Structure formats: C-alpha cells, structure tokens
Amino acid sequence: MKLYKKEGNIIQILSFPNETVEKGNYLLVEDAEAGKALIVQVIDVQFASIPGILEELLRSLPDGGELIQGEDFDPLEIAPHITYIQDASILICKIRATVENESLSPSSSWLPSRSQSTIRKLSIPTLFKLARIDGRLPIVLGGTKDSSLLTIDASSLDGRLNIITGKKETGKSHLSKLLMLNLIGYKATVVVFDLNGEYISLGMTADGKRNAYHDKTHVLTPSQNFKVALKQLNLHVLLEILIHALHLPGTSAREFRRIWQSLKERDMLNLHELGEAIRNWHCNNHVRDALFSRFYALVNSGFFTDNIAEATFLEECLFKAKEQGGAIIINLRNTSPIDRQIVVEYLLGKLVDLLTSWKLKAVFLFAEEAHIYLRETYWDDIVTRMRHFGIFTTFITNQPDTVRENIYRQADNIFLFNFTNENDLEVVSRAARVDAETVKSIARDLPPHQCLVLGKVVKDFPMVVKVKALDVKTMGETRLFFKEMN
Amino acid sequence: MNTTLPQRLIELSLHSLKNVQNQTFQLNQQNVQQTNSLETQTNALQLKPQPIPLKPKREETIVAAVDTSSMKIGETSTGMLIAVRGATIWKQNRYYKYMRLGPFIFHITEENKKELYNTLQTAYFNHQHERTHHGLINLLQMPTRIANLLERWLQTMLSKTVNNSLILFDGSLTSGTPDTPTQVMKEILNTARKRGNSVLAFSKMTNLRVNGHLITEIVPLHKPPYMLETTGLKPRPPIVLLGDVYVARLTTGNYAFRLDIDKEVFSEQKVEAVEKLLGNDLLSQSYPETLRLSHILCTFTANEVIAMQHFIARKYGLKIVNRPDMHRLLFGPFGKGDGNS
C-alpha cells in the first residue's frame, strides 16, 4: 500500500490486489522519521484511476459487445502485471487519530511522508489496546472483520443515550436483547417498551427451556398483570395522561383537578367515586361530557383498578430488579394506541417518581419504535430531564426519520445496521458523533446482522461487528401466510 | 510453423534485460507510439480520372491482417528499454480471432544494438539476404526496426498459412528499405500468390501528391465504393514498389486511403480482391475492421506501459527514477516535448 493523497481528514491509499482491505478496516500509516502514525479507517474502496484503462476495456470488446476470441503468446508473462495494475484500488480513508509516543490524539494536522511511510493493517485488538477500549464490565457484541471479538464496557452505556437503527430484518432487536441481557447480568434495571411482544420470551432458550435470565425477566401486560389504582397515582401523572394521551382541554383539566382534590381530601380516590363525582359536579355540561368521555376511556382501558392488591406488581418487579438486576418488559402487543400512550405516560411518570425519591438508582429504558407511543414533548424530556433522573434510553427504530434530530445530535452511541435509502442515511448522519461519509459509505454495504458501532462505546473508532447469536427464544418473527407451503 | 524469430526475440529480450539488473531507469517522458512511414515521391505521378467502381462480393473469404507496434518504455543510463508486440487477426465465419505475440521487452544500448539487430535479422533472413546499414542504425530507430522485423515475420507466416484469402498489411508494398529487403517482400508476395491469397496494403498516411494535392484528398464525383488507379510512380533505387498503387474510397464519407495491391496479380483479380474485402469485412471510414483490430490489439495502452515498467522493476530490480523533464523544466507549460521543440 502507498500513500497517495490527503485532503482534509481524508486520505487516499493506493492498494494492490494482493492486499485485501475492506471497508471498515483500520490501517496504520507510520512515518518512522516523524515518530508518528495515523490511524485511518477505510470508508470506501474504489478502482484506481489507471491511465489507458478505458482503451484496455474497449479493446477486449470490439466485436459488437462479444469478447474477441484469440491466443496470446506472452513469453515474459506481462499479462499478470497488467491485471495487477488494472485491479489496483484506491482506499478512501478517514483519519481517526494520531499515535505519538503510544498515546492517541484526534489530530490530523500533520502530513506523513508519502515516500517513506509504511502502511499496514491495524488489528482490532491492537487498536483497542491503543485506544484503551477495555472494560471492567465487558459486553461481547460479536466478531469483527479480522475475527477478533468486539467487547464494549457496560459502563459506556451508563448515563448514555443510544440509538439502534437499521432497515427491517437486519438484527436491531437482536442487538437490543444482547445489550439488555448483558446489562441484567451486571444487575442493572432494564425497562422495555415491547411493541410487538418480541421480548416476552427472553427468559427462555431457543428450544423453550428456562435460561439464566428467566427469573430476572418480568413481563407486564397492561390490564392483565399490570394495573394501576387511582390511589397510587399522582395527580400530575393522571393529568399528563388526560391532557396528552386523551387530549383533555385545559378548562376541563382544571375542573378535573378540583374533583381529584375533593376526592383525595375525602380519601375516596377510586373509579366508582370518580365517576360519581363527575356526574354530580357543578360545572358546564360540555366540561362534564368531556370529563365523562375521558373517564370512560380510562375505565375501558382496563389498566385502572380499585383493587390495590392487583396494582403492586410493577413496583415489586422494579424493586426486585434493583436488588439483583432484571428486565421489566411492558408488553404493548395487543394494546390499543390510546391505551399504549396511557401506559407509557404512567410508566415514565412512575419511574421519575421512583428515581426522584431514590427508590431506584437508575433505569435503562429500551424503547422500540418510540414515535408510536411517545408524545412530542417527551423526546426532549428523555434526553435532558429524565437522563438526569437516571433514565438512560436506547431507541430502536427502522424509521430513523421518526426520531427527532436533536436526539441524534445528543446520542452518545449509535448502533447502525444496513440502510440503502439515501434519506435514511442522511438522517442518521446528523448525529454529532458520526461523520456523514462514514455512515453513508459503510452502512449501505452492511450485510444483515452486521452493525456499525459509533460513539463512546468504541471511543469514537467506528467498528463493524457481526452481532453474536443469542440462545433465547425469538418472538419477533413475522406471521406469514405462505409459511407452511414454503 | 517456423518459430525461429519469436524464439530469438525471447532469447534476446531476456539476454538484454539480464544486463540491466539493479540499475535505475527513468520513465519515458514522451510515450509516443513509434510508427513507420517511408514513402518515395516521384514527379510523374498521375491519377486516372475514371474511377473503378466496386461491388461487394459475398463469396466467403477469410480476411486476415497483420500489424505490429513498438514503444519506448524508459531510459537507463546506458540505453533504453523498448517493447514490441505484433498481432495477426482474421475474420472467419463472421467471427474475428486473433493471435498476439509479445510484448517482448529489450534493453538496447549503443553496445548491443548491432548484435541484437544482427541476430534477429539473421534469424529471419536466414543469412541469405544482404544485411546492411547496421552501423548506421540510430538507437532511437531501434524500436521501429525491431517491430518491422517482427511484422515481416508475421506477414511471412500468414502468407504461408492461409489459402485463397485476403491478407491485409498496414502500410505500403514498398521494399528496398533496411528492414524490408526487396527479396524478403517478394518472397512474402510470391508465397501468398501461390496459395491463392491476395495481399492488400492500406496506408493510413501518404505523402504522394498529384499537382500538389495529396492523392487521398482528390475526390471525383462518384459514389463509393471505388478505386482510383495511379500511374507514373517510379521510386528511386534502391526503393522498389512491389504493388500497384490505388486510392481506395470504400465507404461514403471523406475518407480515402492509399491501397497497394500485389503487382503480379491480374487487374481483374485486384479488383475482385477489393470487392471480396467489401463483401467479407466490416468497413468503417473506408478502413477494414480486421486491420483496425490488428492495430488496436498490438498497440500499447498506458496501463500496459505501467505494467511493463512494474514487471521490469520487480523482475530485474530496476529502480525507477524520475529525472526532471528538461522541456517542462525550462519552458513550463510550453515545454511539451521533443515534437514541439
């Protein structure tokens, strides 16, 4: 390999066919004289612009597009040299760091010698050693291109905002399960908004037996084993539900506040009394109608109960998880859109309450397709206010444009699977910890189950990893009509 | 098939390169393909005003062509590195096929040029023809000389191989030059004739003029394809013309070429040969595709030149040095090489 060109923080390297370099590989451009080296990552591989190549190609197809038949008597065996030159490639590389005296700096301000520099592949373990990517709490994500393991530190997810994105069937949920299970293994509390019931069998192996996580995964299905008593609710949480999930107008909300306070003073906070209070409350009929319609929506959701015994499971699970680590999986599969919003509003409010009062230390929240159930104002809340309370969110989506731009800008880690659509890549490339060229070039060519890891978990050295398999029962398979026939 | 010449070419190529190991060499600053143009003008040249009309004859006939190419690929402290390649192409049953020889790479110096050329000439001319001008060969002429030797050999082989075919040469049927002895050319034409072949030689460029006008630029009001016969062309000795010279305009458009056809062939046969060419080969811009392909196949592309330089550097340890181009150095963007000086 030979150093060819440098423009900004992009360098071009001439590579020959016997040097197998792929997108995502790291190279070390070492200038012994300067005592420095550049760590660069290959973000694209192109044909080298060889003079005369067009003539060469045209010459082989002069007969109406058919290859001309013939015999070459090439006694000096020049032909292999011709193909060697023809197949030379240019590696477009992004400068990631400078190594000087075994320490890394993000500088790309110096120019290595074009004639004297040596270029060699940098193995992932060596890079990790240089970048000091190690961990007391290792999570093995999978294998890298050079067959070494990519191990991240669980603490690099702590207090961070993460995004897992990629097109359908590329392995996003698989990776989120891998992260979750490892976090549980380190006694973390994990809450999952499970939109499609994909996580409900995490406690089972692929062949249906109990696994090590069985006792640590708690599946909560709203209106079944997950109910709430009005007495447990804070008024502000219920008002959030009424205003944001059920779109209660401001005037009606004020009346509701009065009704609630009246019932609370009399210790009569239950569904029956609430219905009666609305019926008998002195107010405008339109307000009463508005309150009644919301009241029935709450009742019909089945999520609210007057039986306190039925409504303690969430806290029990959270406290159990706090002690020994665990995942609370909120199964939203058969929940209607409005009920989903009610549940999410309640749960987020509850978590904030528990965290504020230090009943919980911190929670890792995994939110699949959050745009479906998360109201507009929560996006900013999650990345700012809730993060300070200790809710560390991982968004999982196959529609990157549904996640707000400021979420990308503040994301600490991005796990990017394959995208072919330019617009999708454009959205992801707005993330602050990513350069657009890397995202666009590498993500487009990622095969299924391979993921480009960006951000703090890899100390800003983007890595391509083949996510390792998990022995858990998968529930994310799509129901197919022709499955039997195939 | 007699393989004496290619065998000698390989031996001499390897031998010459052995003596150049671990030297430095400079890339050629003007990668111009060497071409050969040797024509003799006489004042009495005339063009018959009446064109010979041509009708394509579809009778199945093999069309074969030969061309060679040479190129200087670098300079060493003692001489230069050149490459030579030749190609024979033939069209049979509507398909083109080729045989390509080379590239042969030589390191030519003032010291070895004589021996090298002598050996090649001996291998080809079998000692029976007069060898001349050795001492006078300019080093810069060597690529063309060696390419011409290879071309004559390929032409000989082709004339001995095919029957009742059309053989197309690049250039004219002029002989008596240092690398085209009359006897050699006569033998090629005799052999071809005996086997029922017709030799047609197309010149891409000509200096022959009538009343000051190039013969290929005189356009009579006649619809192509046709030929115009020339008369009165008498070259000065030792140059000998072994063909009758025509101007051939074979397709519509303003392209015409000097066409030499074996003198010893009857006039009707000459016309018939061109008509068979029209009926059996593709013609674009009045030039036969077979001949065009032979040229394309032997010409060196820039990619191949780099590959040969790579081969030499790898195999013989030659170190490439890039000495400044004096023209560029002195004249900047105005220094475009010897051709413009």
Residue of B nearest to A50 (CA): B303
What is the predicted pLDDT for the residue at B194? 93
Question: Is the pLDDT score of B96 beyond 50?
Answer: yes
Q: CA-to-CA distance for B339 and B29, rounded, in angstroms? A: 12
Task: State CA B161 to chain mean position distance.
Answer: 19
What is the predicted pLDDT for the residue at B341? 34
Question: Is the pLDDT score of B76 beyond 50?
Answer: yes
In a domain, A483, yes or no: no
Whether residue A92 sits in one domain with residue A37 = yes
What is the predicted pLDDT for the residue at B36? 44
Verify cis geometry, omega within 30 degrees of 0, for the bond prior to A138.
no
Question: Is the pLDDT score of A235 beyond 80?
Answer: yes
Whether residue A343 sits in one domain with residue A360 = yes
Q: CB distance from B27 to chain A under 8 Å?
A: no
Its sign, for the CA torsion A210, A211, A212, A218, is negative
In a domain, A474, yes or no: no
Residues A70, B98: C-beta atoms closer than 8 Å: yes
Show which residues on chain A lie within 8 Å of chain B, measured between beta carbons.
Answer: 50-53, 55-56, 59, 62-63, 68-76, 78, 81-82, 84-86
Q: CA-to-CA distance for A1 and A29, rounded, in angstroms? A: 10
Chain B nearest CA to A407, separation (Å): 50
Among candidates B89, B103, B299 on the partner chain, residue whose Cβ is nearest the Cβ of A78: B103
Whether residue A188 sits in one domain with residue A97 = no
The answer to whether residues A360 and A188 touch, using CB atoms and an 8 Å cutoff, is: no
Strands A413-416 and A162-165: parallel
In a domain, A283, yes or no: yes
| pLDDT tens per residue across span B300-310 | 888 888 888 88
Chain B nearest CA to A82, separation (Å): 5
What is the predicted pLDDT for the residue at A476? 55
Cβ density class B202-236: b for 16+ within 10 Å, e for less: bbeebebebeeeebbeeeeeeebbbbbbbeebeee
Residue of B nearest to A70 (CA): B98
| pLDDT tens per residue across span A59-114 | 776 556 667 888 888 888 888 888 888 889 999 999 999 998 888 888 778 899 98
Cβ density class A238-267: b for 16+ within 10 Å, e for less: bbbbbbbbbebeeebbebbeebbeebeeee
Question: Is the pLDDT score of B131 beyond 70?
Answer: no
What is the predicted pLDDT for the residue at B210? 82
Whether residue A34 sits in one domain with residue A77 = yes
Chain A nearest CA to B10, separation (Å): 7
Q: Which residues of B touch A86 (CB under 8 A)?
A: 303
Q: CA-to-CA distance for B274 and A169, rounded, in angstroms? A: 67
Residues A76, B104: C-beta atoms closer than 8 Å: yes
Q: Which residues of A touch B90 (CB under 8 A)?
A: none
What is the predicted pLDDT for the residue at B302? 86
Average pLDDT for chain A? 86
**Residue A384 maps to which CATH number?**
3.40.50.300
What is the predicted pLDDT for the residue at A170? 85
Question: Is the pLDDT score of A136 beyond 70?
Answer: yes
Residues B302, A70: C-beta atoms closer than 8 Å: no
Angle at B90 between CA B87 and CA B91, to 5 degrees: 150
Residues A84, B307: C-beta atoms closer than 8 Å: yes
Q: Which residues of B touch A63 (CB under 8 A)?
A: 95-96
Whether residue A396 sits in one domain with residue A347 = yes
Whether residue A196 sits in one domain with residue A82 = no
Residues B103, A70: C-beta atoms closer than 8 Å: no
What is the predicted pLDDT for the residue at B34? 45
Q: CA-to-CA distance for B1 and A275, rounded, in angstroms? A: 110
The answer to whether residues B108 and B79 touch, using CB atoms and an 8 Å cutoff, is: yes
What is the predicted pLDDT for the residue at A29? 94
Residues A55, B302: C-beta atoms closer than 8 Å: yes
Whether residue A247 sits in one domain with residue A222 = no
Structure token pair of residue A28: 């070390």
Residues B311, A68: C-beta atoms closer than 8 Å: no
Q: Which residues of A touch B97 (CB under 8 A)?
A: 68-70
In a domain, A251, yes or no: yes
Q: CA-to-CA distance for B317 and B335, rounded, in angstroms? A: 31
Q: CB distance from B273 to chain A under 8 Å?
A: no
Q: For chain A, give the percent of residues with pLDDT over 70.
A: 95
In a domain, A473, yes or no: no
Q: CB distance from B94 to chain A under 8 Å?
A: no
Average pLDDT for chain B? 82
Mean of the pLDDT values across residues B97-108? Answer: 90
The lowest-confidence range among A463-467, B28-32, B45-49 is: B28-32
In a domain, A142, yes or no: no
What is the predicted pLDDT for the residue at B109? 86
Whether residue A168 sits in one domain with residue A281 = no
Give A190's strand partners. A327, A364
What is the predicted pLDDT for the residue at B52? 92
What is the predicted pLDDT for the residue at B37? 44
Give A217's strand partners. A327
What is the predicted pLDDT for the residue at B22? 63
Residue of B nearest to A60 (CA): B297
Residue A477's pLDDT band (boundaries 50, 70, 90)?
low
The residue among B267, B220, B268 whose CA lies nearest residue B248 is B220
Q: Where are the domains of chain B?
A: 4-32+44-325
What is the predicted pLDDT for the residue at B1? 53
Question: Is the pLDDT score of B274 beyond 70?
Answer: yes
Range of the domain at A287: 233-305
Q: Which residues of A touch B106 (CB under 8 A)?
A: none
Q: Which residues of A touch B32 (CB under 8 A)?
A: none
Structure token pair of residue A62: 């002069």
What is the predicted pLDDT for the residue at B326? 72
Mean of the pLDDT values across residues A46-63? Answer: 77
What is the predicted pLDDT for the residue at A38? 93
Question: Is the pLDDT score of A306 beyond 80?
Answer: yes
Mean of the pLDDT values across residues A229-256? Answer: 88
Residues A81, B314: C-beta atoms closer than 8 Å: yes
Structure token pair of residue B63: 């069309």
The answer to whether residues A275 and A295 touch, using CB atoms and an 8 Å cutoff, is: yes
What is the predicted pLDDT for the residue at B126? 64
Among candidates B103, B303, B310 on the partner chain, residue whose Cβ is nearest the Cβ of A76: B103
Residues A78, B98: C-beta atoms closer than 8 Å: no
Question: Is the pLDDT score of A371 beyond 70?
Answer: yes
Residues A73, B304: C-beta atoms closer than 8 Å: no
The answer to whether residues B160 and B193 touch, using CB atoms and an 8 Å cutoff, is: no
Question: What type of residue is A64?
Answer: G
Whether residue A430 sits in one domain with residue A313 = yes
Chain B nearest CA to A62, separation (Å): 8
In a domain, A478, yes or no: no
What is the predicted pLDDT for the residue at A121? 92
A419 three-state secondary structure:
coil
Q: CA-to-CA distance for A332 and A344, rounded, in angstroms? A: 10
Q: Which residues of A touch B304 (CB under 8 A)?
A: 52, 56, 78, 82
The lowest-confidence range among A57-71, B95-109, B221-235, B298-312 is: A57-71
Chain A nearest CA to B296, separation (Å): 7
Q: Look at chain A and report how many structural domains it folds into.
A: 3
What is the predicted pLDDT for the residue at B338? 47
Verify cis geometry, omega within 30 degrees of 0, for the bond prior to A400.
no
Cβ density class A29-63: b for 16+ within 10 Å, e for less: bbbeeeebbbbbbbbbbeebebebbebbeeeeebb
Question: Is the pLDDT score of B31 beyond 50?
Answer: no
| pLDDT tens per residue across span A188-216 | 999 999 988 888 888 888 888 888 888 88
Give B116's strand partners. none
Q: CB distance from B320 to chain A under 8 Å?
A: no
Residues A75, B6: C-beta atoms closer than 8 Å: yes
Q: CB distance from B178 to chain A under 8 Å?
A: no
CA dihedral A333, A339, A341, A343 (to 10 degrees): -80
Q: CB distance from B139 to chain A under 8 Å?
A: no
Residues B95, A76: C-beta atoms closer than 8 Å: no
Q: CB distance from B95 to chain A under 8 Å?
A: yes
What is the predicted pLDDT for the residue at B38? 46
Residue B30's pLDDT band (boundaries 50, 70, 90)?
very low
Chain B nearest CA to A120, separation (Å): 21
Mean of the pLDDT values across residues B10-34? Answer: 65
Residue B340's pLDDT band (boundaries 50, 70, 90)?
very low
Residue B54's pLDDT band (boundaries 50, 70, 90)?
very high
Residue B128's pLDDT band (boundaries 50, 70, 90)?
very low
Residues A51, B303: C-beta atoms closer than 8 Å: yes
Which residue shows structure tokens 């083949």?
A466
Q: Which residues of A touch B104 (CB under 8 A)?
A: 75-76
Final residue in a domain of this structure, among A305, A332, A361: A305
Gyration radius of chain A over CA positions = 29
Whether residue A408 sits in one domain with residue A285 = no
What is the predicted pLDDT for the residue at A485? 62
Most confident of A468-472, B15-19, B85-89, B266-270: B85-89
Number of A:B CB contacts under 8 A?
A: 90
What is the predicted pLDDT for the residue at A132? 81
What is the predicted pLDDT for the residue at B4? 65
